[in-house]
C-alpha cells in the first residue's frame, strides 16, 4: 500500500537522511535489547500465531520474534520505504514466513480478524491523540476475537531526572504527540478504544526517559 495524498509520515529520526543511523541511535540511547526482549517475553506463548508488527521500522523487533519462535507467521507494517528497505536486508536470513508491507497504521491493508497478536515498539509516541485512537481502532479490526496487543513505548517518567531527559525526545518528536506519554494516557486510550484486560508490564529507565510496556486484549 503506497501513501495516499491525504496521509503522510515523519521518519523516525525526523529527517529521511538520518534513517540509516536509526538503529545505532536507538541501540545507544534506549537499552533496546533489554526492552525489546522484555516485550518478546511478555507475548509468550507464540506458537503458530500470525503476528503483526505495527510501525516495524528497520525490523529489529520483527527479527527478534522470527528468531524466538520458528512457527510464527509475521507481517511487518511501516509507512517509511527507507526503513523497510533496511528491514528487508536484515530479514533476508530469516527462515520464518515474514512479509513486510508499506502502509499506514490508520488504514491497514489487511482483512478484518487476520492476526492473533499485534505488537508495537516506539511507534505510538509519534502520533497525536486522534491518530492514536484511529490506530487502536484499526488494530481491534484486524485482530481476531480475543487477540492480544503488546506495546513498548515512552511512558510516564519514573523520576524527575527521567522527566528532564525525556525533553530531548520531545524536542525531536514533538511536544503534541509525546505529551500523552508524559501524562500516562495510553492505558486510558486503550480503554476508550474498546480493549479489555489492560495491564502494565515492566518499566525500563533509559538515557532518554522511561520506556513502559502495556498489554491488552481484543473483546
pLDDT band at 44, cuts 50/70/90?
confident
| For residues 102-120, average pLDDT | 98
Residues 140 and 195: beta-carbon distance below 8 Å: yes
Short-list 152, 123, 126, 143, CA closest to 193: 143
| For residues 77-98, average pLDDT | 89
Model pLDDT, residue 19: 60
Model pLDDT, residue 158: 98
Model pLDDT, residue 219: 83
Pairing of strands 209-217, 196-206: antiparallel
Q: For cell 497478536, what's the residue?
A: 117
* pTM of the complete model: 0.90
Model pLDDT, residue 25: 82
Domain 16-217 = CATH 3.40.50.150: yes
- Domain coordinates in residue numbering, the chain: 16-217
* pLDDT tens by residue, 12-23: 555 555 666 667
H or E element in which residue 6 lies: none
Short-list 126, 117, 131, CA closest to 61: 117
Average pLDDT, the chain: 91
DSSP 98-143: EEEEE--GGG-SS-TT-EEEEEEES-GGGS-HHHHHHHHHHHHHHE
Model pLDDT, residue 47: 80
Amino acid at each position: 500500500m503506497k501513501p495516499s495524498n491525504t496521509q503522510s509520515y515523519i521518519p523516525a529520526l525526523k529527517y529521511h537522511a538520518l534513517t540509516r543511523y536509526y538503529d545505532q541511535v536507538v541501540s545507544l540511547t534506549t537499552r533496546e535489547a533489554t526492552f525489546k526482549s522484555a516485550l518478546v517475553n511478555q507475548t509468550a506463548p507464540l506458537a503458530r500465531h500470525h503476528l503483526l508488527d505495527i510501525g516495524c521500522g528497520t525490523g529489529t523487533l520483527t527479527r527478534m520474534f522470527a528468531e524466538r519462535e520458528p512457527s510464527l507467521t509475521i507481517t511487518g507494517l511501516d509507512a517509511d520505504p527507507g526503513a523497510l528497505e533496511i528491514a528487508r536486508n536484515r530479514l533476508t536470513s530469516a527462515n520464518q514466513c515474514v512479509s513486510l508491507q508499506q502502509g499506514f497504521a490508520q488504514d491497514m491493508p489487511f482483512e478484518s480478524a487476520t492476526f492473533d497478536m499485534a505488537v508495537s515498539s516506539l511507534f505510538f509516541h509519534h502520533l497525536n491523540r486522534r491518530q492514536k485512537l484511529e490506530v487502536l481502532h484499526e488494530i481491534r479490526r484486524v485482530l481476531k476475537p480475543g487477540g492480544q496487543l503488546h506495546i513498548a513505548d515512552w511512558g510516564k517518567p519514573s523520576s524527575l531526572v527521567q522527566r528532564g531527559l525525556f525533553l530531548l525526545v520531545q524536542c525531536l518528536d514533538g511536544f503534541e504527540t509525546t505529551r500523552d506519554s508524559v501524562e500516562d494516557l495510553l492505558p486510558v486510550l486503550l480503554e476508550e478504544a474498546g480493549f479489555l484486560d489492560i495491564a502494565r508490564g515492566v518499566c525500563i529507565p533509559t538515557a532518554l526517559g522511561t520506556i513502559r510496556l502495556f498489554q491488552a486484549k481484543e473483546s
